[in-house]
Structure 1
Amino acid sequence: MNKTIFHNGRIFTSNPDQPYASAMVVSEGQIDWIGNEGDLAELEGVRVDLQDRRVIPGIIDAHLHPLYLANAAKQVVCMAPVVYSIDDMVQAIRKQSESIGSGEWIEGWGYDEGKLTDGRAPFRSDLDKAAPDNPVVVTRTCGHIISVNSRALEIAGITKDTINPPGGQIDRDANGEPTGILRESARHLVLNAMPVRSIEENASLLAELSPFLFERGITAITDLMALSKPIDYLDMYNEARDHGLKQRTVLYYMWEDLKKDMILDEHKTNRENPIHIGGIKLFADGSVSGRTAWVNPPFLGDDENCGISTTSREELLEAAEVAENYGVQLVVHAMGEQAIDLIVDTFYGKKGWLEDAPSIRIEHAAMPTEQAIQRAVEMGVAFVPQPIFLFAEIESYLNNLGAERTKTTYPVKKMLDAGIKVAFSSDAPATAWADPVDPFVSIKAAVTRVSYDGTDTGKDQRVDVETAIELYTRAAHEITRIPAIGQLKQGYQADFIVLDKDILEVSPEQIDEVRVKATYMGGEKVFEK
């Protein structure tokens, strides 16, 4: 049996029983032995010198949107350093319209009105100036709100008389006419009218994303918006695997889809499969930055606005029953206090159905109340926050919540001290940052609790570097349930990354300058700088 001996490394294992090592022996993709090089027996095999570099387990992104991330790379960029104003956005879209045919759809990605000099989202009238003959859809950085032009509204059949769909809002002017801004479920009125890419096109996009993720040390991913129609995501990801997608992948299917088409079965949910279904996803509210999170108290400067509630107790219970029947997780997006309370209170006193992991995950969990945290601990509910949000979207948080309330959001240290299972993730591309999936930006944000512009985002909620790495590795494995990854220990997969700087020794402010020198999956090098 061929063995590879990795030696002369500074290995941080994420294994609390053996946090540090300097050598490991790998065969058939798994770690046979790990420890101090001085204790390593004489072995025959290929020797790889780690050159005294820091090694950590491969990153597991527990909440990601890979297809959106791959698509965003091909859309009109609507954020800094390309776009600073609505006029910049109009110019960028006009340029795109001049290079394509009349009638073709134009998509843009990533505006955040908190960062635009205009201080507002683009209206249909703005986008009409850019491309009157092309339907235009520009997605806000949070992914929960879109701005569209008149042509797109016309194609979708949205008029003054169109009523708000459940859990959604069509913004209107003083005369009741749609402004072009569609929030939460209302955005699907337009998105569902857009042409659908073929499964082959999407599979190729995902395969192209694989090396991009390896370059950032990401060896396992999730898709938190998997669909069964018009393309089944499980089929699409399996085809992407044939095209070259290598990351281990867990899919979480939208409850809206599963209600109509129950595709779950034992084979599709088998966690030994490199691509499998891990849960059922619902939304309980929207985003803090888009003022659609279901909050209490209301958003700053608008006592009428507590956001949007997008699910119900009955729907949660119905989805949970199906999740239990198929042995998968119930995964619910909730940012505001009221949204988190709804989930926790709905299931309080009920027993979880999974033996080896949290049965219920709350995604984002931006603003949990003291009672919600206590109850979540008792129930074994997991929280999956994104440190990059406060770091990258500070303007919107300050505008919508104020400085003091902002500091209390995503209280990671409080969650951990209480005993909640927590995993870090990026939610990429749903944040206003040029490289939103970069884990080192998120780790820096969690360790410093300072935003990109130097604003204090709640320093009492800082965690140390080792903890931040563990939340992206071992803890993310415990919550995503992908077998035998997230730690470097005997019997586990040899998924690890070699860093160009020692993340445990650089100053916290420089963590985002750390780069991956090499990425290994199953002991095989899949990326080298």
Structure 2
Amino acid sequence: MRLKPLFLLLSLFSVTTTAAPVALHNIQGYGFDENRQLVNFQTLVFDDESGQILARGAKELLAHYATAKQIDGQGKTLLPGLIDGHGHILGLGEYLKQADLRGIGSEQQSAAAVASFAKNNPEQQWLVGRGWNQVLWESKTFPGKTTLDEMVPDKPVYLVRVDAHAAWVNSKALALAGISKDTLDPPGGEIIRDANGEPTGVLIDNAMYLVQRKIPTPTEAEKRAALATAFQHLQALGITSVHDAGVNTELVKLYQQLQQEQQLGVRVYPMLSAKDPALESWFKAGIIDDASDWLDIRSVKIYGDGALGSRGAALLADYSDQPGQQGLLVTEPDALTEIMRLTINAGFQANVHAIGDRANRLVLDRFEQLSNLEALQQSRHRIEHAQIVSPQDIPRFKKLHILPAMQAVHATSDMNMAGDRLGVARLRGAYAWRTFVDQGSIIVGGSDFPVELANPFHGLHASVTRQDQQNQPVGGWLPEQRLSLVEALRSFTVDAAYGAFQEEKMGTLAPGSWADFILVDRDIFAIPPAELWQTTTLETWIHGQQRFKR
């Protein structure tokens, strides 16, 4: 691979400091320049007090910093700190302490895992878990309350599907929520029922809240503990910043407290939840532009439709494997228009969840109606996921300056059912990263953890190979949509930073930017792409301080 050389020009030394800097040398460093082009360097100089990069270059750079504290990188590979452009930090911390059903191969085995969790956690009044996926089961069908009742009859059980758009509950939970044959489906939700109209124990999208609201709210101490667990987990994976997708005022206030206490483990770009009752007060207060970029508050997460796996993604035509079903709009069209209008008029960034082609079109239509092209370019509004888009709508992202915030691992997770749900024709606009990049769209990369595992190297691998970790399918799924490794790395660094108005300070390791970087156990540009997911983070540095060391 040919990289743009980075010469030792005095013009690079644009940041000055009175303290002795740190010079990390003998590294295989990668970063980006002002044109988002990959550059290679062997020495990185930064100020561990201000947290800023001072210079980068060849080994001769050390001569210009004779008084610097020197650290020998021992030939390790150094990358910009990785940015997850769509995750759920508190959800991750809670997930790491709940019943984990990810990858379990049957309904019966999943219920048995919950029973085992109950036995090992007798203090839990509610049994909460996450990760079940009926697509992996031989039956391919939704589970039911009966299986859970047999295993856990005496405590309420609430199990979130892997995509977080469906819940599997037992009879105890249904009774506590007052859900019966006579309960009406809430707008934007569905209570799955049997032939007699009785609830089966599966709730889709907005119907989930009928039970969820009965679960005791975690205390502040419990939330702090969950966040601390999540921060440690993210640091160990090489993630230095997260765009937290959909947080309420209570959690934002907790983030602000943690920032004051210098206890934020990663940089956080919170998207205020469109459902938060205090949203308009945030609009009145205006954007919070944190000079240190630990906690910039200027965006809103708006909810469009559901997810593909639970057939909640809103489609223009019927699901191929369920005639008559076209998905769900979690927010009704008029309400969607109003919340987008309020967000745009307040000068905040609107980040709208849209997975199905109908939802994506509805959101694009509203951006076009509610703003002009100049304002759209400045506002960097986003569509979160943009998974299934009509081919005729993809160019509208570029025309309207809407950023697709996409999660590469969703494609390799969904490839075993997407064709069944959509049919062959609609796959032309599904998970279409190459098409977006070729038209000049900037992709904000991420994982959607804990829907997926948070490891960003899984996302880089999926972007480049379009395969799972067993190298399947041969040649990749929809391989024409693969990205190069440089493009994939951009999506998790400078392009993700662009999606948060932070590209001047994050994601490049250019002089003047924050010293957020990681050291990993292999040169990702010198290994077979199939091995990318195996990359391990050895050290994580944020703001010039080492936060993790393996």
Bin of the TM-score, shorter chain as denominator length:
over 0.9
User: Which residue pairs with 1:335 in the alignment?
Assistant: 355
Give 1:96 deviation, angstroms. 3.0
Q: Relative to 1, partners in 2 of residues 1:140 and 1:51: Cα closer, same or farther, differing over 3 Å?
A: same
Listed as ranges, the matches of 1:24-103 within 5 Å are 24-27=44-47, 28-39=50-61, 41-43=63-65, 44-80=67-103, 83-99=104-120
Q: Relative to 1, partners in 2 of residues 1:244 and 1:323: Cα closer, same or farther, differing over 3 Å?
A: same
Please say if 1:163 is aligned against 2:184: yes
Q: May I ask how many residue pairs the two structures share in their alignment?
A: 520
CA-to-partner distance for each residue in 1:469-528, whole Å, 9 max, x for gaps? Answer: 111000000002246111110110010111110001110000011111211112221111
User: Which residue pairs with 1:255 in the alignment?
Assistant: 274
| Greater alpha carbon shift after TM alignment, 403-412 vs 493-502 | 403-412
> Would you say the 8 A contact 1:313–1:343 is kept in 2?
no
Q: Relative to 1, partners in 2 of residues 1:313 and 1:393: Cα closer, same or farther, differing over 3 Å?
A: closer
Pick aligned residue for 2:447 from 426, 448, 462: 426
Please say if 1:450 is aligned against 2:467: yes
User: What is the letter of the counterpart of residue 511 of structure 1?
Assistant: L
Q: Relative to 1, partners in 2 of residues 1:243 and 1:108: Cα closer, same or farther, differing over 3 Å?
A: farther
User: Which residue pairs with 1:6 in the alignment?
Assistant: 24
Give 1:347 deviation, angstroms. 2.0
Pick aligned residue for 1:153 from 174, 189, 211: 174
> Would you say the 8 A contact 1:406–1:457 is kept in 2?
no
So what's the TM-score if we normalise by structure 1?
Answer: 0.93
Listed as ranges, the matches of 1:19-418 within 5 Å are 19-27=39-47, 28-39=50-61, 41-43=63-65, 44-80=67-103, 83-99=104-120, 104-228=125-249, 232-241=250-259, 242=261, 244-258=263-277, 262-264=281-283, 266=285, 269-272=288-291, 274-348=294-368, 350-351=371-372, 358-402=379-423, 405-406=426-427, 408-418=429-439
> Would you say the 8 A contact 1:358–1:479 is kept in 2?
no
CA distance in 1, matches of 2:262, 2:219: 14
User: What is the letter of the counterpart of residue 9 of structure 1?
Assistant: I
User: What is the letter of the counterpart of residue 233 of structure 1?
Assistant: L
So what's the TM-score if we normalise by structure 2?
Answer: 0.89
User: Which residue pairs with 2:7 in the alignment?
Assistant: none
Q: Relative to 1, partners in 2 of residues 1:224 and 1:117: Cα closer, same or farther, differing over 3 Å?
A: same
CA distance in 1, matches of 2:326, 2:214: 30
CA distance in 2, matches of 1:196, 1:87: 29
> Would you say the 8 A contact 2:41–2:57 is kept in 1?
yes
Q: Relative to 1, partners in 2 of residues 1:221 and 1:265: Cα closer, same or farther, differing over 3 Å?
A: farther
CA distance in 2, matches of 1:400, 1:249: 35
> Would you say the 8 A contact 1:4–1:48 is kept in 2?
yes
Give 1:322 deviation, angstroms. 2.6
Q: Percent identity?
A: 27
CA distance in 1, matches of 2:480, 2:283: 43
Q: Relative to 1, partners in 2 of residues 1:84 and 1:396: Cα closer, same or farther, differing over 3 Å?
A: same
Listed as ranges, the matches of 1:468-483 within 5 Å are 468-482=488-502
CA-to-partner distance for each residue in 1:284-305, whole Å, 9 max, x for gaps? Answer: 1111122111123322222211
SS of the residue corresponding to residue 219 of structure 1 reads strand
| Greater alpha carbon shift after TM alignment, 366-375 vs 473-482 | 366-375
CA distance in 1, matches of 2:37, 2:380: 26
SS of the residue corresponding to residue 518 of structure 1 reads strand
Q: Relative to 1, partners in 2 of residues 1:140 and 1:370: Cα closer, same or farther, differing over 3 Å?
A: same
4+ runs deviating over 6 angstroms = none
SS of the residue corresponding to residue 298 of structure 2 reads strand
Give 1:448 deviation, angstroms. 0.6
CA distance in 2, matches of 1:356, 1:294: 27
Give 1:353 deviation, angstroms. 7.5
SS of the residue corresponding to residue 274 of structure 1 reads coil
CA distance in 1, matches of 2:308, 2:459: 18
CA distance in 2, matches of 1:18, 1:243: 32
CA distance in 2, matches of 1:285, 1:315: 13
> Would you say the 8 A contact 1:352–1:358 is kept in 2?
no
What's the C-alpha RMSD, in Å, of the aligned pairs?
2.2
Give 1:245 deviation, angstroms. 3.0
Q: Relative to 1, partners in 2 of residues 1:404 and 1:258: Cα closer, same or farther, differing over 3 Å?
A: same
> Would you say the 8 A contact 2:469–2:533 is kept in 1?
no
> Would you say the 8 A contact 1:380–1:421 is kept in 2?
no
Q: Relative to 1, partners in 2 of residues 1:387 and 1:407: Cα closer, same or farther, differing over 3 Å?
A: farther
Q: Relative to 1, partners in 2 of residues 1:17 and 1:465: Cα closer, same or farther, differing over 3 Å?
A: closer
User: Which residue pairs with 1:488 in the alignment?
Assistant: 509
SS of the residue corresponding to residue 191 of structure 2 reads strand
SS of the residue corresponding to residue 163 of structure 1 reads coil
Give 1:239 deviation, angstroms. 3.9
Q: Which runs of 5+ in 2 are unaligned?
A: 1-18
Q: Which runs of 5+ in 1 are unaligned?
A: none
Q: Relative to 1, partners in 2 of residues 1:74 and 1:18: Cα closer, same or farther, differing over 3 Å?
A: closer
CA-to-partner distance for each residue in 1:161-204, whole Å, 9 max, x for gaps? Answer: 11111111111111111111110111011111110011221012
Q: Relative to 1, partners in 2 of residues 1:352 and 1:41: Cα closer, same or farther, differing over 3 Å?
A: farther
Please say if 1:439 is aligned against 2:456: yes
User: Which residue pairs with 2:526 in the alignment?
Assistant: 505
CA distance in 1, matches of 2:525, 2:203: 44
